Amino acid sequence: MRGAGAVAAVFVLALSACSQDGRNYAVPGDLCGVAVDSDLLSPLLPDGEKLTQRSYDAGATSPRCRVSVDDRLVLYVSSDLVPPDTDPLKTQDRGLQRLGHPAPADVGAAARVADRGALAVADCATEDSRKRVATLIQLEREFPEDTAQRRKNLTRLLRGYLPKAMAALGCKPV
């Protein structure tokens, strides 16, 4: 009988450890319809009860996605097709500075990863012209707390997401 009590105690502890996790929602395999590996997205999402995504277009070539946990915005993602002679890293320099200490990253043709966001640029071609795609991932909360880890997580997510965002825009790498 003592053994059964010990097994039951271990089972109860295991269950409470799972519920102590604090994340009671499933991590999606997409960001507003653009496929993304949930293992890349998960480290940037905080604990909570409910995750919601809201997509909207700022034009046909500028999809936007807002991810909220418990009705608090936690992640913003945008992609824009721009002319091939536009340098999004220059035009977004002030915004990147506000995200904290942007530094070059090995994603796409050029990228910057900051403390609370990342921007990557890649050359591509649509059916009728050459373009550039600029994809921004911006965190609205400093999660995880460790800045170096957060920057690594952002880089991994951006590296996995950028090619799929390009494909969703009908733009093939060149």
pLDDT in tens, 112-122: 999 999 999 99
Q: Is the pLDDT of residue 6 over 90?
A: no
Please give the pLDDT value at position 21: 65
Query: Does residue 4 belong to any structural domain of this protein?
Result: no
Please give the pLDDT value at position 57: 79
The count of structural domains within the chain is 1
* Spatial separation of the C-alpha atoms in residues 73 and 64, rounded to whole Å: 13
Tokens of 79: 């992609």
Query: Does residue 3 belong to any structural domain of this protein?
Result: no
Please give the pLDDT value at position 60: 82
Residues 10-55 have pLDDT tens digits of 333 333 334 346 999 999 999 999 999 999 999 999 999 999 999 9
Domain that holds residue 105: 25-173
Query: Does residue 156 belong to any structural domain of this protein?
Result: yes
Share of the chain above pLDDT 70, in %: 88
Band (pLDDT 50/70/90 cuts) for residue 93 is very high
Please give the pLDDT value at position 105: 97
Burial of residue 13 (CB within 10 Å: 0-12, 13-18, 19+) is: exposed
Indicate the Cα dihedral angle 36, 73, 168, 26, nearest 10°: 30
Q: Is the pLDDT of residue 8 over 80?
A: no
pTM for this one? 0.86
Query: Does residue 65 belong to any structural domain of this protein?
Result: yes
Q: Determine the residue type at 115.
A: D
Query: Does residue 6 belong to any structural domain of this protein?
Result: no
Instruction: Find the mean pLDDT for residues 161-169.
Output: 96
Query: Does residue 109 belong to any structural domain of this protein?
Result: yes
Query: Does residue 104 belong to any structural domain of this protein?
Result: yes
Q: Is the pLDDT of residue 168 over 50?
A: yes
Query: Does residue 147 belong to any structural domain of this protein?
Result: yes
Q: How many CB atoms lie within 10 A of CB 23?
A: 14
Distance of CA 20 to the CA centre of its chain: 24
